[in-house]
Each structure stands twice: as structure tokens, then as C-alpha cells.
């Protein structure tokens, strides 16, 4: 079975630009979560979506938004990019929304903002 | 105070050694505990997933949870160079909280 797939793998953007990151979950998983991982740190929670509805939001500014599609794939959008947005963006899928469903991660999109 | 504390290392051991990785946490409401392995330029890979206090073994890996001390551990027996990676602990209550990761190098 295919795991979580993310695209693109790498991206270089300029301050002020907008970016869209994409994720396809493991087949059968209806929940998708997005995390930001800065070098040397653990992943930080951004959003969780389940059945196209937002189920949780971390402590990130409104420049960050996301959505989930009927096929359970998801997009993360970041507007007005800042240098501090440079990070590895991870998508994770799980079978449910609760803490009992462990997260399965993709390999991430490495975003560099110059 | 962070929800989850993890020593970032780096930790360097000879091949065949027993490795002990640890995390502490502050919130007694955490119910589920996980260990992830992350190779360079890859996403975290789920290694171990436990619910209750006690030990869980899977091959060379043993996860240990002590809820009374708010302390979790991952033991790696007969460590191999392929175990060289960053190990992240994680725990959950409504959402998932991760440690900063411990960088491990196993020297042949």
C-alpha cells in the first residue's frame, strides 16, 4: 500500500509570496493533519481535518489555511510568506480523529523562503 | 514549561550497544505514547505505540511507560548502523505533542 504522499518535495519562495502544499493520505484514512518541523525541533501541530471539516488548529497565524477534499486529500496554504516559515512541512494521516489513532507521516515538503 | 522534554543529544554508541532514549512529560492527561524514527530528509516513521504503563517489545525495540513518574523510554538492543537517525517521542490527549528528538549515531 502507498503511504502518505506529499508534493512538491522541495520549494523555494520569496518573502511575501503564497505557497500551496499537497497531501494524499493512506488509503482508507479519513483524517489528515499538518505539522511544521523547524530544524532541530519536533513537529508542531498546524491543522487537523476529518471528513472535510477542521477538527483542530494549532497556534499558527491566519496566514495558514488548509482544506480537505472529498477524496480525503488535503492542501495547506500559506500566504504572505516570512523567512521564519522556512521549515519541513509534514502531512500525517490517521484512521480516526482521536488520540488512539497514531499518525503516519509523509516525507514532507521542504520550504525555503528567501 | 514544555509539554514534552527530550534530551537532543547527540548520542554516539558503538555497534551492538544497548541504547536508551528517554522523554519526560508534565501533563498526566496524556494517554497514548509513541516513538518515531526520522532519517535525514525523511518524515517520521512510527516505531512503537503504547497505551498503558509497562513494557512493549517489538524485535530489538522495547518501549517503556511509567505514568506515575511521567517518564517514557525506548530501548534498542544490538544497535546497528542503520539505527542512526533522530528518535522522536510523542504523546497525545486530543492532539499530539512531540519531543525535540534525540540524534543517534551507531558507529560500526
Residue-wise pLDDT tens digits, B5-32: 998 889 999 999 999 999 999 999 998 9
- Residue for grid cell 524485535: B59
Q: Which of A43, A99, A100 is nearest residue B98 as measured by Cβ atoms?
A: A43
Q: Measure in Å the smallest separation between the Cα of A88 and chain B Cα atoms.
A: 9
For chain B, percent of residues with pLDDT exceeding 90: 83
pLDDT at site A1 = 59
Helix (H/G/I), strand (E/B), else coil: A5 = strand
Pick the range with the lowest mean pLDDT from A72-76, B84-88, B94-98.
B94-98
Give the DSSP H or E segment for A24.
Answer: strand A19-24
CB contact under 8 A, A104 and B94: no
Count Cβ neighbours within 10 Å for each residue of A14-29 and write b for 16 or more, e otherwise: eeeeebebebbbbeeb
Q: Rounded to 5 degrees, what angle do the CA atoms A14, A15, A20 make?
A: 70
CB contact under 8 A, B44 and A110: no
In a mutational test of the B interface, the residue from A23, A36, A42, A102 whose CB has the highest number of chain B CBs within 10 Å is: A42
Over 90: is that where the pLDDT of B52 sits? no
pLDDT at site B17 = 98
Pairing verdict, β A31-37 and A10-13? unpaired
Spell out the residues 6+ positions from residue B21 whose beta carbon is closer than 8 angstroms to its own: B11, B35, B73, B74, B75, B76, B87, B89, B102, B104
List, as ranges, residues 44-73 from B with C-beta within 8 Å of A: 44-46, 49, 51
CB contact under 8 A, A41 and B100: yes
Beta bridge partner(s), residue B61? B58, B76
Count the alpha carbons within 13 Å of B4 in the hemisphere toward its beta carbon: 29
DSSP states of A38-88: -TTS--EEEEEEETTEEEEE-S--TTEEEEE-TTS-EEEEE-S--GGG-EE
Nearest CA in chain A to B49: A102
Confirm or reject contact between A25 and chain B (CB < 8 A): no
Amino acid at each position: 500500500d502507498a503511504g502518505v504522499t506529499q508534493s512538491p518535495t522541495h520549494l523555494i519562495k520569496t518573502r511575501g509570496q503564497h505557497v500551496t502544499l499537497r497531501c494524499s493520505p493512506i488509503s482508507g484514512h479519513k483524517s489528515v493533519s499538518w505539522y511544521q518541523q523547524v530544524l532541530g525541533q519536533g513537529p508542531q501541530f498546524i491543522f487537523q481535518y476529518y471528513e472535510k471539516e477542521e477538527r483542530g488548529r494549532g497556534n499558527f497565524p491566519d496566514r495558514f489555511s488548509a482544506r480537505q477534499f472529498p477524496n480525503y486529500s488535503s492542501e495547506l496554504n500559506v500566504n504572505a510568506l516570512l523567512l521564519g516559515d522556512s521549515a519541513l512541512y509534514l502531512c500525517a494521516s490517521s484512521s480516526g480523529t482521536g488520540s488512539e489513532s497514531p499518525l503516519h507521516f509523509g516525507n514532507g515538503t521542504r520550504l525555503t523562503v528567501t | 514549561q514544555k509539554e514534552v522534554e527530550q534530551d537532543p543529544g547527540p548520542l554516539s554508541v558503538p555497534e551492538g550497544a544497548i541504547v536508551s532514549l528517554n522523554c519526560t512529560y508534565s501533563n498526566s492527561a496524556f494517554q497514548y505514547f509513541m516513538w518515531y524514527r526520522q532519517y535525514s530528509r525523511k518524515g517520521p516513521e512510527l516505531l512503537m505505540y503504547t497505551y498503558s504503563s509497562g513494557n512493549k517489545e517489538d524485535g530489538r525495540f522495547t518501549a517503556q511507560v511509567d505514568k506515575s513518574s511521567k517518564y517514557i523510554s525506548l530501548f534498542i538492543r544490538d544497535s546497528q548502523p542503520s539505527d542512526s537517525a533522530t528518535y522522536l517521542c510523542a504523546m497525545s490527549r486530543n492532539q499530539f505533542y512531540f519531543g525535540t528528538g534525540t540524534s543517534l549515531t551507531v558507529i560500526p
